[in-house]
A and B are shown apart, each in its own frame.
Chain A
Amino acid sequence: MAETIFKPKRKSGPIKFATLGAWGISILFFLPVAWIISTAFKPKASIVVSPPVFIFKPTLNNITEALSFDNTLSYFTHSIIYSFGSVIIAILVAYLAAYSFSRYKPAGTDFLMFLLLSTRFVPAAAFVVPYFQLFNLLKLKDSYIGLIAFYAMFSIPFSVWILKGFLDGISQRFDETGLVYGASRWHIMFKVILPQVKPGLVASFVFNILFVWNEFLFNFQLGGAKTFGIPVGLFTGSTKGGAIDWAYVASIGTLYVLPLVVVIYAFQKYLLVGLTFGTVRGEV
């Protein structure tokens, strides 16, 4: 649509220049990450040297070494368990709530939606202390139950907002037709309406996993050796013996960042709705 408006008289020249510019900016922004990825494949002697090495024979030694440390693999499994566990629970309960908000609009809907959104706008550090004490009191520290419950709450506001947005876009006629034909409410919710909000489900699933996966502070304070995830592993594992172990940072950083790149590529059309808490939808 854009080029129908700004179509230049000589088509090939300026367009190509702009394309080059767009690609150049993309590569420039990716360069720091690319540098870390390339560092992960350097021979150890070429990492901690000055001047930096640009041409080298790639090796997997750093990555295999980083993975051979006792905790490394467990960071990944912990992250997978608590992020998937919490997000699945969150989406399930959020769908029920979003359906209720969208179809029945119980008294106080707007206020509850407001409260849910505002919980995501408070700096995380503000809530660490009460959670820390609550977790100590309930003996939930360093337990999956505690972390999954916490991250479920962490994911619920966003899921409710995103799913309500999608549900509001689906005509109530579907519900009414179902009722007229004698379908139960559960049948309507899960067999008629649910398939139609699939994009909302995908978006809230992918982005909640991403947010939980990336969360550091609460995992650091409420978790422990049995439940530390990747960001904490990257942080604590980076400072072995005083100095920062750059080979470790680069290796684990690479293993962490590559799936992210794939996720953004695969789910690019959900990126907007995902990063605006479901409040903005549109094509990019």
Chain B
Amino acid sequence: MAKSVETLEKSIKDAPKAKKPESKKNWFSWGLLAPVLFFFILMSVLPTIWMFGLAFYDYTLTSANKPKLIGFKNFTDFLANQQLAGSVSRTFIFLLCAVIIQTLLGILIGVLFWKNDKMPGRRLALTLFFTPMVVTPIATSLFWKFILDPTLGVINYFVSVLGFERFDTLTDQTLAFPTLVFVDTWMWTPFMTLMTLAALGSVPKAELEAAQVDRLPITRLIRTVIWPHAKFILGLGILLRTIDAFKTMDLAYVMTGGGPGDRTELIAVSLYRFAFKSFKLGYSSAVSVFLMFIAIALTSIYLYILNAKKKSEA
């Protein structure tokens, strides 16, 4: 009985589709896509092709020489550039420190809010907590510059009250980089908390209740009930955060300008400098092409996790 209803439903579902001529359906579906494709080709594909082209030219805006085709020289130059290799490795150190700290802190705070899902004023508390991640990095940098200022800053005031010497974190050789990680952590820990809450929310309530009835110990509860469901969203959160940390530019550019020396020079900051301070358009495009491939690789991993999540849900 059940099966025949199913087949009947299926035949009803398939019927109108079969009647429709394929070509008309195709025409309509592409027609709907046309405006997006128009924008995509004009504003995304075209600049990308342009960028690829530029990467093979010796083209400096400020020089009188005409742009010259030089093949892969920009790429070989850039791979041989020690300074740039420094920014790339610095970016990865930054990314590792930031993402690990933010993930751990984010999970801790997330669990705290999860256990407090009936706390008074939860929505307001979360609003205050989530504010840092939606403030534009330009404002964040300026705000923190003020707070960390060696003479005017409120943090240094407390440092001096406690009897320590005032310090200028943003121009200090050893402190500048950790300060950048610290401010980034302030900005993005709320995001990892948000993802933790979503991950915990994706665990079916029935399974949690069953675990409670079985009096499952907490370690087994995490390993056998929570983790199999929560891992996907948590994974997506960590990856999104990694991608964003990799892109960090405004924050470093405004707060430290990459300094002191090159202590906080991240790859995106170098790239901006090549393009708009020394106007080496060909060279900066070669770096951009390199970064684009990293982005495409990260996108693939992201979609891989997303598909694994969908499969496990189905």
Verify B131–A257 contact, CB threshold 8 A: yes
Q: Which of A93, A215, A265, A280 has most chain B Cβ within 10 Å?
A: A280
Asked whether A238 and B142 contact (CB < 8 A) given A26-B125, A52-B154, the answer is yes
Q: Does B306 contact A (CB under 8 A)?
A: yes
* Neighbouring B residues of A123 by C-beta, 8 Å: 246-247, 249, 267-268, 271, 291, 295
Q: Which of A131, A271, A277 has most chain B Cβ within 10 Å?
A: A271
For the complex formed, measure the closest distance between the CB of A13 and the CB atoms of chain B, giving whole angstroms: 14
Task: Give the distance in Å from the alpha carbon of A15 to the alpha carbon of B29 in the complex.
Answer: 54
Interface 0/1 of A247-284, CB less than 8 Å to B: 00110010011001101110010011001110110111
Tell me which residues from 137 to 191 in chain A have a Cβ below 8 Å from any Cβ of chain B: 149-150, 152-153, 156, 160, 172-173, 176, 179-180, 185
Tell me which residues from 222 to 238 in chain A have a Cβ below 8 Å from any Cβ of chain B: 230-232, 234-235, 238
Chain B's interface size range is 35 or more
Task: Give the distance in Å from the alpha carbon of A48 to the alpha carbon of B233 in the complex.
Answer: 45
For the complex formed, measure the closest distance between the CB of A238 and the CB atoms of chain B, giving whole angstroms: 6
Asked whether A52 and B247 contact (CB < 8 A) given A29-B131, A129-B288, A153-B40, the answer is no
* Neighbouring B residues of A55 by C-beta, 8 Å: none
Task: Give the distance in Å from the alpha carbon of A98 to the alpha carbon of B16 in the complex.
Answer: 21
Verify B48–A130 contact, CB threshold 8 A: yes
Q: Does B133 contact A (CB under 8 A)?
A: yes
For the complex formed, measure the closest distance between the CB of B88 and the CB atoms of chain A, giving whole angstroms: 12
Asked whether A19 and B119 contact (CB < 8 A) given A33-B132, A249-B142, the answer is yes
* Neighbouring A residues of B217 by C-beta, 8 Å: none
Selecting from A56-64, A68-76, A113-121, A193-201, the interface stretch reads A113-121
Verify B249–A235 contact, CB threshold 8 A: no
* Neighbouring B residues of A275 by C-beta, 8 Å: 133, 191, 194, 240
Verify A152–B197 contact, CB threshold 8 A: no
With beta carbons under 8 angstroms apart, the residue of B134, B153, B186, B254 that contacts A29 is B186
Interface 0/1 of B148-166, CB less than 8 Å to A: 0001111001001000000
Verify B154–A104 contact, CB threshold 8 A: no
Q: Does A81 contact B (CB under 8 A)?
A: no
* Neighbouring B residues of A256 by C-beta, 8 Å: 136, 139
* Neighbouring A residues of B157 by C-beta, 8 Å: 50-52
Interface 0/1 of A100-115, CB less than 8 Å to B: 1101101000001011
Q: Does B272 contact A (CB under 8 A)?
A: yes
Q: Does B296 contact A (CB under 8 A)?
A: yes
* Neighbouring B residues of A234 by C-beta, 8 Å: 136, 138-139, 142
> Count of chain A residues with Cβ under 8 Å from any Cβ of B?
108
* Neighbouring B residues of A131 by C-beta, 8 Å: 47
Asked whether A23 and B121 contact (CB < 8 A) given A106-B33, A280-B233, the answer is yes
Verify B142–A93 contact, CB threshold 8 A: no
Q: Does A87 contact B (CB under 8 A)?
A: no
Verify B233–A4 contact, CB threshold 8 A: no
* Neighbouring B residues of A1 by C-beta, 8 Å: 117, 205, 208
* Neighbouring A residues of B296 by C-beta, 8 Å: 118, 121
Asked whether A124 and B198 contact (CB < 8 A) given A117-B299, A129-B54, the answer is no
Verify B271–A134 contact, CB threshold 8 A: no
Q: Does B281 contact A (CB under 8 A)?
A: yes
For the complex formed, measure the closest distance between the CB of B144 and the CB atoms of chain A, giving whole angstroms: 7
Chain B's closest residue to A180 (CB) is B16
Q: Does B102 contact A (CB under 8 A)?
A: no
Q: Does B46 contact A (CB under 8 A)?
A: yes
Q: Does A84 contact B (CB under 8 A)?
A: no
Verify B154–A127 contact, CB threshold 8 A: no
Interface 0/1 of B281-299, CB less than 8 Å to A: 1001101100110011011
Verify B36–A4 contact, CB threshold 8 A: no
Task: Give the distance in Å from the alpha carbon of A264 to the alpha carbon of B252 in the complex.
Answer: 26
Q: Which of B36, B142, B160, B190 has most chain A Cβ within 10 Å?
A: B36
For the complex formed, measure the closest distance between the CB of B22 and the CB atoms of chain A, giving whole angstroms: 11
For the complex formed, measure the closest distance between the CB of A199 and the CB atoms of chain B, giving whole angstroms: 15
Verify B54–A122 contact, CB threshold 8 A: no
Task: Give the distance in Å from the alpha carbon of A133 to the alpha carbon of B243 in the complex.
Answer: 26
Verify A19–B291 contact, CB threshold 8 A: no
* Neighbouring B residues of A265 by C-beta, 8 Å: 123-124, 127
* Neighbouring B residues of A128 by C-beta, 8 Å: 272, 275-276
Task: Give the distance in Å from the alpha carbon of A31 to the alpha carbon of B248 in the complex.
Answer: 23
Verify B152–A29 contact, CB threshold 8 A: no
Q: Give 7 closest A-B pairs by Cβ, nearest first.
A: A104-B29, A126-B288, A153-B43, A130-B47, A100-B32, A214-B136, A93-B35
* 10 further interface pairs, Cβ-Cβ under 8 Å (given A5-B208, A125-B268): A29-B189, A128-B272, A130-B51, A130-B285, A131-B47, A153-B40, A160-B36, A214-B134, A260-B131, A284-B198
Contacts A/B (CB < 8 Å), 26 sampled = A3-B115, A18-B115, A23-B119, A26-B125, A29-B128, A29-B190, A33-B131, A49-B152, A97-B32, A106-B26, A106-B30, A117-B303, A121-B299, A122-B291, A123-B249, A123-B291, A123-B295, A128-B272, A129-B281, A214-B136, A217-B250, A268-B123, A276-B240, A282-B202, A283-B198, A284-B198
